[in-house]
Amino acid sequence: MKFDNIFALFGFPSEDDGSKKKIEAELDVFKETPHFKLGMFNKLIMNGGVFSKQIVKFFAKSDSELDVKGIDDAGEYMMYTRAWFWIEQVQLKKKEWKEALKQYANEDFIISLKLSINYFEEGEEFEKCAHLKKIQDFVEKSLVK
């Protein structure tokens, strides 16, 4: 990701006056927060299916003899593996994680958790399922009723 291109969209000066470095540092700090990690997990799962379908459609059109099932499986594996990278960091005993999960307590987030549990059940990765289920239970208890 080229920050210069992003900052240019918001009218930052082309010469470095220190503001870019400050924003980059703040962004690096934000990337380590529970909110960012939960958001990345949810976004990957919720948008991953659409992206995967677009990729399969593209390859199917370009080569009609191509085994699109293999591409679909690989895309699904990559999506859930990367989403796991973010959600495995949840520590339910820590206050900051509990607060972040309460803010993410909605039906879409629960769907992301359930889809992930289902995926890892099929691969018999039960340790991952157990971790996700604990998170799901906490989020469901936190839903505003």
pLDDT tens-digit profile of 31-70? 999 999 999 999 999 998 777 777 777 777 777 777 666 7
Q: Find all residues with CB under 8 Å of 76, minimum gap 6, and list them.
A: 48, 52, 119
Our CA dihedral for 51, 56, 62, 67, rounded to 10 degrees, sits at 160
Does position 12 have pLDDT exceeding 60, yes or no?
Answer: no
Whole-structure pTM over 0.85, yes or no? no
Does position 11 have pLDDT exceeding 70, yes or no?
Answer: no
> Which pLDDT score is estimated for 74?
80
Query: What is the rounded CA–CA span in Å between residue 83 and residue 52?
Result: 14
The domains of the chain are located at 1-30, 34-142
Please give the average per-residue pLDDT across 9-16, as a whole number: 60
> Which pLDDT score is estimated for 16?
59
pLDDT tens-digit profile of 60-105? 777 777 766 677 788 888 899 999 999 999 999 999 999 999 999 9
Task: Read off the pLDDT band of 6 (50, 70, 90).
Answer: low
